[in-house]
Amino acid sequence: MNLAGFFRNLGGSPELEIEEKIFNISAFSIGVFALVGTLLNYLIGLNLIVVGLSFIGSLVAFYLFYLSRYKFRFSSIFIVYYLSAIFLILGIMYFYNSGFSGTVPYLVLVLLNVFILVTPKKYQKHIAGSLYLFLFSLFLLQYFFPHWITPYNSNGEAAVDHMTTMFYSMGLTTYVTIYFRNRMSKDRQEIIKKSLEIENQSVQLKEKHEALENSLSQIKERNLYIETLLQELSHRVKNNLQLVISLLDMQILDEENREKHSQVEETKNRLISIILVHQKLYGPNQRISIYIPEYIQELCESILSLYNGSNETKDGKEIIDYNIEPLELPVEKIISLGLICNEIITNSFKHGFINTDQPRLEIFFSYSDKYILKIRDNGNGFDLYKNKRRSGMSLMHSLTKQLKGGLEIKSEIGTGTTTILSFP
């Protein structure tokens, strides 16, 4: 690096804090001044102790500059070391350099300004107080022990020493102040630039936010429109199914064949289980999933109204015992589940409870790692082998496959029937 580049980067790299840069510049400047002062002090004939102290001061300043600028070891402890060296060197030099009439007070005041700039805010008062106390202590010692002071040998010697120190003090103070102001100006411009960037980003974010709000509003309107269409569709399906049920009722009234009459009744019950789903979808609390306890209970009540009239036996006991966890199922699963429930419960009332004085039907529904439906009756039971090809049995197995589940039926003549459906 050439000499111009060295002085241009004297403070250090741009990413360093301004305090560290000022410390580097000040340490180097003080080192140069102390070295030049050593030569001048020797030439004008000052006390050799002053010459030696000036040289030691230059070595200390250059060493601290080297550690901070090239070893990156600047810290608050550096200021303490530097201050201690100053107290020692300038304290001795004060008595051999004409005391208050000499140049040491100038140097202390210059260093006070420098240290205030490079010291962290929480230590500034301590540093300033230490320098003030140091200078005041020197004045008191000179007052009480004036014979300790070594005066200048001549007025010319004093003039050269004062002139040299004063110009250096003014130059260093001016340079540090200008450097600090320029850095502050650059920082201010950078802050203004970033503020403008942030303001522009805020405007852009606001515009994007408004655009997102408009998009969200459009999506809400579209969803509302779709929900309205779905409700209307569900309503129409429900009405059409009710119309079919009405036609089936008319066919039941006209049907004389008892077997065909029974088949129509079964078809009607299956349609009712589907209507209940659409009723939930279209009703005031429509939802995309169905609350299982409420649905199964309403399905059972519709079947009871056809076969028994109420949920009570002759002696007032309830026929159906519900043990259903408060779960919900999506529509695509609830229809298959409802049809399977309809088949099981209808078979219990239609076939299982014939000649049963105290019919009992227990319905369990729960979920652990999968959904479990368990329906048990105390009816007559039936022969599984003889009935496995019946349409109702085939329908239950087909619906179980749709649910990707498993169906288990346990029944023996005279012991009732237990049906267990499991699905994910």
Phi, psi of 312 (to 5 degrees): -135, 145
Contact indicator for 127, 83 with CB cutoff of 8 Å: yes
Write out pLDDT tens, residues 295-344. 888 888 888 877 766 666 666 678 888 999 999 888 778 888 888 888 88
First to last CA, the chain: 76
Least reliable range by pLDDT among 82-96, 208-222, 377-391: 377-391
Write out pLDDT tens, residues 53-103. 888 888 888 888 888 888 887 777 777 877 888 888 888 888 888 888 888
Q: What is residue 372's predicted lDDT score, i.e. its pLDDT? A: 93
| Tokens at 17, concatenated | 């804090």
Q: What is residue 266's predicted lDDT score, i.e. its pLDDT? A: 63
Q: What is residue 1's predicted lDDT score, i.e. its pLDDT? A: 53
pTM, two decimal places = 0.44
**Per-residue pLDDT averaged across 182-208, rounded?**
82
Write out pLDDT tens, residues 47-64. 888 888 888 888 888 888
Least reliable range by pLDDT among 74-78, 197-201, 245-249, 411-415: 245-249
Taken in order 286, 345, 358, 411, the sign of the CA dihedral is: negative
Q: What is residue 422's predicted lDDT score, i.e. its pLDDT? A: 93
Q: What is residue 267's predicted lDDT score, i.e. its pLDDT? A: 67
357 vs 281 pLDDT, higher one: 357
Q: What is residue 140's predicted lDDT score, i.e. its pLDDT? A: 92
Task: Give the pairing of strands 361-367 and 320-324.
Answer: parallel
Whether CATH 3.30.360.10 fits 255-423: no
Domain ranges of the chain: 10-196, 255-423
Q: How far apart are CA 342 and CA 372, in angstroms?
A: 16
Q: State the pLDDT confidence band at 227, using cuts at 50, 70 and 90.
A: low
Instruction: Return the residue matching tokens 């200021």.
Output: 79
**Per-residue pLDDT averaged across 171-199, rounded?**
77
Q: How far apart are CA 294 and CA 299, in angstroms?
A: 9
Q: How far apart are CA 408 and CA 275, in angstroms?
A: 27
Contact indicator for 365, 324 with CB cutoff of 8 Å: yes
Q: How far apart are CA 107 and CA 237, in angstroms?
A: 99
